[in-house]
Every structure is written in structure tokens, then in C-alpha cells.
Structure 1
Amino acid sequence: MTLAHAQSLAPDLQVAPATPDRDDEALLRFADWCFGFSPIVAPDRLDGLWIDTTGCDHLQGGEAPMLEALRGQIAERGYAVRLALADTPGAAQAVARFGRDAVSIVPPGGQRNALWLLPITALRIEATRVADLRRLGLRTIGALLEARVRLWCGVSARRS
């Protein structure tokens, strides 16, 4: 949405100029701080942080307590955060950014269900491809998966 539209919806909205260098420095500080949760942390300028917690959650009492501790400690520093834990980094990123909950744990093998209702933009594909898929009426990952199955079945049926 445009700034004018946002301000019309939230008249008290505070606006500040972008500071990409300072944002990068803050992200690197957060990445360093996250080494307390995992030895594998990688900043991603557009998406925040990737943290591989494999084998680390038990040190915090399990997955849910670990995510809650992480969320709480970040909140104490004055930041809002969305966290997700999943079998793959892509699924975790999609659920964190587009899921309905601020903290989500996708159960092992539950990626399909967790991603089903998310918008196709959660796939991190080019904007032109998103526009093409929307023109075809595909808005969610589930709709895209269903269309793929129908297309695959249609092609295999013609070959029989």
C-alpha cells in the first residue's frame, strides 16, 4: 500500500527514512546473539534470520519453549518477530512470513498442510510468475498443487 493510504488508515503512523546499512548492522548483531540458540545462524537481508536448530531444541526444553524464549528475548529488545520451525528452511520462512500465528511449529511431515492456504507469494518466486499464476486463478499454494496434479493426470491420461 502507498504511504498516503497507510497514513489514512493509521493517522498516528510514524514514518522514518530507510537506513539499509544500519538495518544490516542490527541484523548481524541479532545473528551473533542467536548463536546462544544454535551454532548455525545466517542473516538473510530480506527475510531476517535463518537458524538451524537441529539438535539444539532440547537445550531449551523443546521446540516450543525454545521458540518462546527466542520470541520473548527479542520482544524485550523492542522488536516484533514472527517465528516458524519446519522440516525445511523454505517451509519455515513461508509459515513465518505468511502464516496466521506469530510463532508456529510445523509438525514433521506437516508441510503440505501448513503451506496449503498460504498465498503463492510465499513460494519466493518472481513477481512476473506470481502475476501469471494469478491470471490463471491460482492464489494459494494449495490451488497450485491441485492444478499441478490435474495437469499431470491429464497429460498421463492422454498418453495411455
Structure 2
Amino acid sequence: MIAREASSGYDLAYRLKIMQNTHHSQIYPMLAKLEENGYLLSTTQFQERKPNKKVYAITLNGLELLREWSKTPVKVPVSRDEFIIKLQLDWLNPSRTSELLEERIRYLEEQLRETEKTLVTIQETLGLTSTNEKKSNMPYQIYQRKYQLTLTEKNWCLNLLGK
């Protein structure tokens, strides 16, 4: 993301949230380390009535490192889903299963609403009007993927509830 445009740690955390559960406390030490190793440069952006912020840009060495990393095989993601673990314990408390599924559906519905808003914002901000423009815009497609995965999980929960 910094490879496309200079970003503050806060902006980066916001954009990364779609791909992984990343916290600011993880991002800032990583940015400092990347800068220390010469992969990023930072400038201080002065702001009125707000604290100054550091804006990071990628260096040529950073771009080369990123290019090499992008060629490496994708690791299989580690899944630690407390929801699934609790569902597997349904024999301990059968009445809790329906509650868990209903809670999850409410959570997923909120996620769907938020993702829809983001899709509309991307579409409007970038002026994406045709299906081809949407297909070739990777940020739009990443959010579209999130939407479809969330919708699939919601439908799975509804199916388990017999709805």
C-alpha cells in the first residue's frame, strides 16, 4: 500500500484492516524497522490543531524487496476462529448453539453493511461505472471478495438454524 502512495501509520492500519486483523501497536514498530533498514523514508507532516504525523514512502530498495517477496509462495493462513471452536462444543451446551448462530448472523449483517458502504465509496471515489472497470480495480475486488465470503458464512449460519 505504501508502494502505491505515501501513507501514515494510521492510514495504513485503516487500509490493512480488510486483509488482516492488524493493530496500530504492530504497525508502528514494523514501519520503524523498515525505515531503519532503508526500505522506507518518512517525512513529518505538520497539522494545525492535530498532532504532527509521519508519512512513509517506499524506497527503491523497499520496492525491490517487495517485488521479491511478491514472488514467494503464499503461506496457508492459520485459522483461529473461536466461533467455530464453540460450535464444535455444542454437545456441552446444546441450547447455546442457536444463540451463537444468531449472534454471528447479527455480526455478519453488520459486516455486510459496512462492506457495502466501502464498495460504494470506492466506486464513487474512483468513478467506477462499468463492470469491466470494477473487475480491473483490485481494491474494489478485495472488498467484493470480503462481501461474498461474509454473505456465504451468513447463509451457512441461516442454513444451520433451518432458515
TM range (shorter): under 0.3
From the CA coordinates, give the structure whose radius of gyration is larger: 2
Q: Scaled by the length of structure 1, what TM-score is found?
A: 0.21
